[in-house]
Amino acid sequence: MEQVDQALSSLSGAAAGLPIHVLLESARAVHNAFDIAAHPRVQSISFGLMDFVSSHNGAIGSHAMGSSGQFTHPLVVRAKLEIAAACHAHGKVPSHCVVTEFSDAAAMQSAAERASREFGYTRMWSIHPDQIRPILAAFAPQAAELQTASDILSAAQAADWAPISHQGQLHDRASYRYYWQLLERGHRTGAQLPQVAKAWFH
């Protein structure tokens, strides 16, 4: 947290009001994730995987820096989840770390999908142009998800946003909010939206 304050104090003039993105690279930094995310100038927090692993003085093996090990080592998993939870608690953007195997498309795709669907990250770093499209594809909702969201929200709108039953399941304002956010994410990532949903973004 002290380094965040130092960075902010060094900004002056035109940069004084700019939001900042914080990179957490140590166990101590992760311990302070919630305090850092609470800072009004912080917009996004990223996880520095390789520095985090090396800061443990050999207690975490090098396999944890790879595309698969980073999702299985308990200390790394804990750090990822702490950062994501802190960001969501304070309305900030959790940004997932890089995948160093930039020539391995399957590893890249798998890591991006896990970061998005299992760890709650909404953004991810790339270190090579070839990684950009797989990241966007992994973070975009699937076509079936977008269709379900469109169907539920169309029915909810027709019911004046009262609770509805859709395919035998109850839906109310809580799930309406979830499905609207899903459509927003699809729109931002350039996914093909169902025809009904397209009208909501014009």
CATH number of domain containing 123: 3.20.20.60
CB count, 10 Å around CB of 17? 8
Q: Give the global pTM.
A: 0.83
Which amino acid would we find at residue 142? Q
Structure-block tokens of residue 105: 């498309």
Residues 53 and 12 placed together within one structural domain of the fold: yes
Give 2-21 pLDDT, tens digit per residue.
677 666 666 665 566 788 99
Range of the domain at 192: 143-201
pLDDT, residue 174, reads: 96
Instruction: Report the alpha-carbon distance of residue 121 to residue 102 in Å, rounded.
Output: 19
Residues 112 and 126 placed together within one structural domain of the fold: yes
Residues pairing with 202 in the sheet = none
To which H or E segment does residue 31 belong?
A: helix 27-31
Final residue in a domain of this structure, among 110, 139, 168: 139
Residues 128 and 149 placed together within one structural domain of the fold: no
Domain count for the chain, please give it.
Answer: 2
Give 139-169 pLDDT, tens digit per residue.
889 999 999 999 999 999 999 999 999 999 9
Starting at the edge strand found earlier in the chain, the sheet holding 93-96 runs 20-24, 42-47, 93-96, 123-124
Residues 56 and 17 placed together within one structural domain of the fold: yes
pLDDT, residue 12, reads: 60
